Chain A
Amino acid sequence: MNMIEKILAKASGKKEVGPGNIVVANVDRMVLHDLSSNLVSKVFENEMSDGTIFDPDRIAFVFDHTFSPPSQADADVLTEARRFAAKYGIRNVFDSGSGSIHHVIIESGLWAPGDVIIGCDSHTTVYGALGVFSTGVGNNSMAALGYAHGKAWFRVPETIQVRLHGPPPAGTAPRDVAQYLEGFLGEDSAVYRAVEYAGPFIENLSIEDRMLFPLMAIDLGAKAGYINPDEKTAAYANKYSRKKHFELFKNDPGVQYAKVIDVDLAQLEPQVACPPTVGNVKPIGQAVGIEIQLAEIGGSTGGRLGDIRVLAQALQGKTVHPNVRLQVVPVTRGVYLAALREGLLETIVEAGGIIFPPSAGSNQAVNMGAMSEQEAMISTQARNFPGRNGHPKARHYLASAATVAASALAGRITDPREDARQNT
């Protein structure tokens, strides 16, 4: 069995499971943001007859879409979520301003290798970088099986292995690799299946950079993404997890895959996902010159300390283009504090950028990130589908922090390698 099969077998009390089996598994953690916690509360209180929560300590709320309610309706959503948490004894509540849901959970240690984690959020797949099986489920699943019984049903997925061979050229970032895969493999290439990311490129990455791959697996259509846990996973868990004893569920030797795909990254260029879908990925050369009015470092696939460092370095002694609003959204309070202490935020503000509270940022236009019809944004966010950021014809381009930084300075989509060449 591979990592996912082993975890699902353990969690469902079975000796062995295989692709296609339906299992009902015990769940270690259920994570919900402000919007989904509200929708699940409604199902739990209005559609089910007995309102008992199996174990409130397995549930965690992170209010990441609204960092400060702009309307009474938004305030009511948060008030309702706090009421539900207080009524049912849910103690793991991270209120507005804590950061982007899964990064807050990771930073606060509410996970351990070998866990099953579910969330009413498609990016729940991120924990696959930490030796965890995790995926998104619906509101009714969460209320009726999760809240009420501490369980979830799963169809054990077939697994595709993607082996990445590097190193990619200088001037590219792990985000460019993850973005390239969305275009190269296709946004529906792994529907219902799991993707294991492997190969020397993945092995050499830090855990923070590895997270991008299971995160972005969802936009290959995958149910889950994961990286076979290793000594880096164990060290990261020892540092952050609140559980002192955990087990790494490694792939059995010689495990079989539905498909194995080898990808050579030697010729990789910076990549941009262009509207209208995450799979419309182009090498930077085909996107340069497009004027942008908004640039953002933020979101579950950006806004980490490494991204903010890249931005601050690019902005050093320079000024953001006068037509561009540059928004920086640290992904957690911990990242905010570290960036503050390193002086990165000072550099960014001096260059003309604006710092927003830790949150989901412009992931979708709930608290920020709406655009007019003629506007365009480039960001490190995960998604660019019409309807997420204001007018359906507004354009949203997705790229690495380096590409966002270079574009914010130039007022148009810019190859970050060109920027680097001009500086030498």
Chain B
Amino acid sequence: MTPLILEGDCWKFGHNIPTDMITPTAYVMRGMGEMVKHVLENANPDFPKNVQRGDIIIAGRNFGCSSGRAIAPKAIKATGVGAVIAEFFSRTFYRNGPEIGLPLLEAPGIHDLVETGHRIRVNIEAGIVENLTTGKSIQGRAPSGLLLDMLRAGGLIPLLKSDAGKVLLGS
């Protein structure tokens, strides 16, 4: 089960952040223990050093573009980050996040609503983000269908073991 209502401190990143910047090539095959020390370091060197369990990533447009690298959402999850909220995601990242149980929310306008260090509360299923620091809130595009089923189950593999998974394979 993945928590879908979360409250945490934010780290804000820019537009078109490629998977190369999330998970630098040099560490991709060196195991998650090493990888996690370098996540997003080329975008913000403080991030891998100071990220705390439950923190939330805020990003701009097309987060997770470039190589499909499914290790990118896995590495973000391994840092303890609870969710990523972006203007919108690259297609592979938007698919891979729910498959591995990393909650993602598309919320156009989020990039202007939040700064690094702000505290926010997000309800992924309802698609609502509240900035607890400024008091402003925004309605995002709540995931539905298979994406939501995967998030609720904690990913594609646990989903396939459930009754819903059997329906999916039978369809």
Interface positions of A (Cβ within 8 A of B): 12, 22, 24, 35, 38-39, 43, 47-49, 73-74, 77, 120-122, 124, 136-141, 143-145, 149, 151, 153, 187-188, 191-192, 219, 221-223, 277-279, 364-366, 383, 385-388, 392
Q: A214 CB to closest chain B CB, in angstroms?
A: 14
A38 contacts which chain B residues (CB < 8 A)? 29
Asked whether A122 and B92 contact (CB < 8 A) given A24-B168, A187-B62, A387-B24, the answer is: yes
- Mask for B86-111, Cβ within 8 A of A = 1, else 0? 00111110111001100000000000
B71 is an interface residue with CB less than 8 A from chain A: yes
Identity of the chain B residue whose Cβ is nearest the Cβ of A148 in the assembled complex: B160
On B, residues with C-beta under 8 Å from A are 16, 18, 20-21, 24-26, 28-30, 42, 61-62, 65-68, 70-71, 88-92, 94-96, 99-100, 145-146, 155-157, 160-161, 168-169, 171
Q: Looking at A73, A143, A153, which has the most chain B CB atoms within 10 Å of its CB?
A: A153
When A149-B169, A192-B94, A365-B26 are in contact, do A387 and B21 touch as well, CB less than 8 Å? yes
Query: Given the interface contacts A24-B168, A392-B42, does A121 sit within 8 Å of B91 by beta carbon?
Result: no
Contact B29 A77 (CB under 8 A): yes
A39-B71, A153-B146 given; A222·B91 CB < 8 A? yes
- Give A122 to B62 CA distance when docked, in angstroms: 15
Interfacial chain A residues near B18, Cβ < 8 Å: 277, 383, 385-387
- The docked-state distance in angstroms from the alpha carbon of A74 to that of B29 is 8
Whole-angstrom distance between the Cβ of A281 and the nearest chain B Cβ: 13
Within 8 Å by CB of A221, from B20, B65, B68, B168, lies B65
Q: How far is the CA of A144 from the CA of B157 in the complex (A)?
A: 6
Q: Which of B25, B89, B95 meets A364, CB within 8 Å?
A: B25
Please tell me which one of the listed residues B26, B61, B67, B169 contacts residue A122 in the complex, with CB atoms under 8 A apart. Answer: B67
Q: Are A22 and B146 also in contact (CB < 8 A) when A144-B157, A187-B16 are? A: yes
Q: A151, A191, A219, A387: which has the most chain B beta carbons within 10 Å? A: A387
Q: Which residue of B lies closest to A151 (CB)?
A: B169
Q: What are 19 residue pairs bridging A and B, where the CB atoms are less than 8 Å apart in the complex?
A: A22-B146, A39-B70, A137-B68, A139-B71, A141-B96, A141-B156, A149-B169, A153-B146, A188-B88, A191-B62, A191-B89, A191-B91, A221-B90, A223-B91, A364-B25, A366-B25, A383-B66, A385-B20, A385-B21
Residue among A49, A77, A386 making CB contact with B20, cutoff 8 Å? A386
B95 surroundings in chain A (CB, below 8 A): 137-138, 141
Nearest Cβ in chain B — how far from A101, in angstroms? 12
Bound CA span A144–B154, Å: 14
A215 smallest CB distance to B (angstroms): 13
A365 to B71, CA, bound (A): 17
Given A140-B155, A141-B99, A387-B42, answer yes or no on A191-B160 (Cβ-Cβ < 8 Å). no
Expressed in whole angstroms, the Cα–Cα distance for A366 and B100 within the complex equals 25
Having A138-B68, A222-B91, A365-B25, one finds 15 other A-B pairs with CB under 8 Å, namely: A22-B146, A35-B28, A121-B67, A137-B68, A138-B95, A140-B96, A140-B156, A141-B95, A141-B99, A191-B62, A192-B94, A383-B18, A383-B66, A386-B42, A387-B24
Given A153-B146, A387-B18, residue A35 in contact with residue B29 (CB < 8 A): yes
Contacts of A192 in B (CB 8 A): 91, 94
Name the one of B67, B96, B145, B169 contacting A24, with C-beta atoms under 8 angstroms.
Answer: B169
